[in-house]
Structure 1
Amino acid sequence: MSSIRAIKIGTHNGHFHCDEIFACFLLKTLPRYADAEIIRSRDPKVLAECDTVVDVGGIFNAEQKRFDHHQKTFTETFNSLQPDKPWTIRLSSAGLIYVHFGREIVAELLKKENIEDGVRDHLTDILFDKLYETFVLEIDAIDNGVDIGENMK
């Protein structure tokens, strides 16, 4: 009998912030993360055991599933990771997760609706941009100390 290890999402302990809470929420909307355990620690040994780490650890590497934005050298924006997108606010951990998983998350949520595939694909593209522009962008701005204004990009 083989035991299947639960997926672990690591984030920092102590005070929690909107960006890592939303990052964890976004991940848990995906079927492969739905039953994931959230581990709150700053211990590198504990975080090394996690499958995905957000907002802690000092590493941004999407291939390794490490999504921290606190490094002095971190300058990523939505536009720098997806040049066809206009947004240039520095990303928080929520923004990083959204850039890398957001389209899949929106598509997954739309699967629950009775929508034709072609229409669903088109809606996914529209909602992916709109959700970032009207919600996640503000989380990125707040987390990075950027004043939120009408012309924010």
Structure 2
Amino acid sequence: MSQPRLRLVTHSGKFHCDEVFAYGVLRLALGLGAAGEDHDLIRTRDPAIIAAGDVVWDVGARYDVEARRFDHHQRGAPQREDGTPYSAAGLIWQAHGHAAVRALLPPEAAGLAAAIAAEIDQAVVRRIDEIDNGTAPERDVLGLAALIGDFNPGWDSEGGDAAADAAFLQAAALAEGVLRRRVEVLRGRMAADAEVLAAHARSADPRVLELERGMPWKGAVFTHGLPVLFALYPASNGNWMVDAMPPEPGSFAQRLPLPEAWAGLQDAALAEASGVPDAVFTHLRRFVGAARTRDGAREMARRAIALG
């Protein structure tokens, strides 16, 4: 005998980022397909329908995780430790965010789920909470909340509730897509951090980070306070890059630029100036160079440090 479909209930009328995002989180966390397949998405303000819902959020004037009620409009609604009020997105994320992230990760990355969920909570979900509750410091017209708000049918549009429900699902697809990409970006960054730390431990000189492939590495250097001046890694064209480390995140300067005498030189001219036979180029701004081999890149870094 088949199980009855879950009834997922939120409010009708104009929708906002918090309940739209929460719906995407619920679908992922509960392993649900599209609306109408294994669950019904019901947008209503009818108290009887709300009371009969299996999961209810952003409506109903009740917060009870065990009963799967996640409203934040009533007196005594929960707040974050610093007093920031939760929105429906924040309440759903506290209960289901870890499971949603876990559903998006490959099995070998399951151990990253808690850290990724915590970072998304601080960087994304908290922002949704602030915007929905009117405590955000500024309004971003290109932010997720604004983009989702634009999915609402216009005041003079036709189609009534059916059009609004369809627009809600379109907005939810956008929110879920953003969440999927954010999880993948953070997974990649955290995986790269682990590889950078392991590579640094193997490097003969702690000032020269030798990587077996290109990856985001500067963030790990900053986070872990590594004394890296240059990173070496293979490029897609077969060369080996010599990439200078900036002094702080977002800076276009370098802790130690490549030598000024190498700036803008290529091939034979650079080989002569640097003393590295297979040196290929040094950027005019001296933040990156390359050699044809790993040994050549290592020698460029060694000589740059000696001349620095």
The TM-score normalised by the length of structure 1 is 0.80
Deviation at 1:38, TM superposition (A): 0.8
Residue of structure 2 equivalent to 1:136? 125
Distance 1:106 1:88 in 2: 26
Q: What is the aligned counterpart of 1:69 among 69, 72, 78?
A: 72
Distance 2:136 2:3 in 1: 45
**Percent identity over the alignment?**
37
Residue of structure 2 equivalent to 1:27? 26
Q: Secondary structure at the match of 1:8?
A: strand
Aligned structure 1 segments of 4 or more residues deviating by more than 6 angstroms: none
Provide the aligned length of Structure 1 versus Structure 2.
134
Residue of structure 2 equivalent to 1:38? 41
Any conservation in 1 of the 2:10–2:59 contact (CA below 8 Å)? yes
Deviation at 1:4, TM superposition (A): 2.5
- Larger-gyration structure (1/2): 2
> Any idea what the Cα deviations from partners look like across 1:84-126, whole Å, max 9, x if unmatched?
xxx642110000000011111111111xx2x52xx521x1121
1:79-98 equivalences under 5 Å are 79=81, 88-98=83-93
Distance 1:26 1:65 in 2: 14
Distance 2:30 2:91 in 1: 19
Distance 1:133 1:88 in 2: 14
Q: Which amino acid aligns with 1:108?
A: A
Residue of structure 1 equivalent to 2:50? 47
Distance 1:48 1:147 in 2: 32
Q: Secondary structure at the match of 1:30?
A: helix
Any conservation in 2 of the 1:19–1:143 contact (CA below 8 Å)? yes
Deviation at 1:3, TM superposition (A): 4.1
Q: Which amino acid aligns with 1:52?
A: V
Deviation at 1:147, TM superposition (A): 2.3
Residue of structure 1 equivalent to 2:114? 125
Any conservation in 2 of the 1:7–1:33 contact (CA below 8 Å)? no
Larger CA deviation: 55-64 vs 67-76: 67-76
Distance 1:70 1:148 in 2: 21
Structure of greater relative contact order (alpha carbons < 8 Å, 6+ residues apart): 1
Residue of structure 1 equivalent to 2:4? 5
Deviation at 1:76, TM superposition (A): 2.5
Q: Secondary structure at the match of 1:128?
A: helix
Residue of structure 1 equivalent to 2:94? 99
Structure 2 stretches lacking a partner, 5+ long: 139-308
Distance 2:134 2:68 in 1: 25
Distance 1:109 1:94 in 2: 18
Any conservation in 2 of the 1:13–1:42 contact (CA below 8 Å)? yes
The TM-score normalised by the length of structure 2 is 0.41
Any conservation in 1 of the 2:127–2:136 contact (CA below 8 Å)? no
Distance 2:12 2:44 in 1: 5
